[in-house]
Amino acid sequence: MPHLQDTPPIVLTIAGSDSGGGAGIQADIKAISATGGYACSVITAITSQNTQGVSAIHPVPTEHVASQLDAVFSDLQVIAVKVGMLADADIIRVVAKKIRQYQPQWLVVDPVMVATSGDLLLQRSAIESLKNELIPLADLITPNLPEAAALIGANTPTNEDQMGALIEPLRALQARAVLLKGGHLDQTSDSNDLLVTNHHSELIRSQRVVTTNTHGTGCTLSAAIASYLAQGHRLHKAACLAKQYLTQALTHADELDVGRGHGPVHHFFAGYSHVR
């Protein structure tokens, strides 16, 4: 049943900071807040970033990542955790260790590797650590097509048939479920995602929103899923609700005037009004 208490459920985002405010920790906090959760955060890296790209990445020392996690989990009743950018293998191992220690009810892992601008956000040497240490702990992983291909050593799909061929290799990663995001199939009029569990797969369909303001879409979707899971929705329902939320945030994205590159989605479209 959905969360019925007056107090919003607590959702922890573990990710990097985007100084431009469109992706990473900033997007996660906005998405969790807009969808009914209480957001807290652990920052794994500080990026110098805007809508045009990433100019620098500074990983947070592992001991401070660990101390942030201890501070949050020792005091706050975290229901769901969303994991985004982890930067390197040492940070991945620390996060996995703390997840095993504190055992939150839900773990959503967005295997962030490349920014919308094309900048690399995860050291290639860390991909094996992600696969071995963290993904097997996840209730859901949310790769886009290039990320899924990188995880299983395949070519990036260019159509839905090729997308479907990734199902079994992705199951072998041992997460409880996978939401394979099809947004990169931009030659189609739809933007469909494939929800894969141990014994079932299903397309979650939506109309493609035509906009260049797509910065932070992956962060936003996975954070919204974690928020809806924390509120008591089952996985399929949480994924559908998050997809609907993201579609609306993209639909309203052009109402914002942020930066000169790939602008952000409009997280607070529902309560936004111009101040004149």
Instruction: List the catalytic residues.
Output: 181, 214, 216-219
DSSP string, 47-76: EEEETTEEEEEEEPPHHHHHHHHHHHHTTS
Distance CA 241, CA 122 (A): 28
Distance CA 9, CA 36 (A): 8
Distance CA 96, CA 99 (A): 5
Q: And the tokens for 105?
A: 């009810």
Please state, as a whole number, how many other Cβ atoms lie within 10 Å of the Cβ of residue 171: 16
Type and span of the H or E element at 152 = helix 145-152
Distance CA 134, CA 259 (A): 34
Q: And the tokens for 228?
A: 């809806």
Distance CA 28, CA 22 (A): 9
Query: Could you tell me which residues come within 8 angstroms of residue 206 by beta carbon, excluding any fewer than 6 positions away?
Result: 190, 191, 192, 243, 244, 247
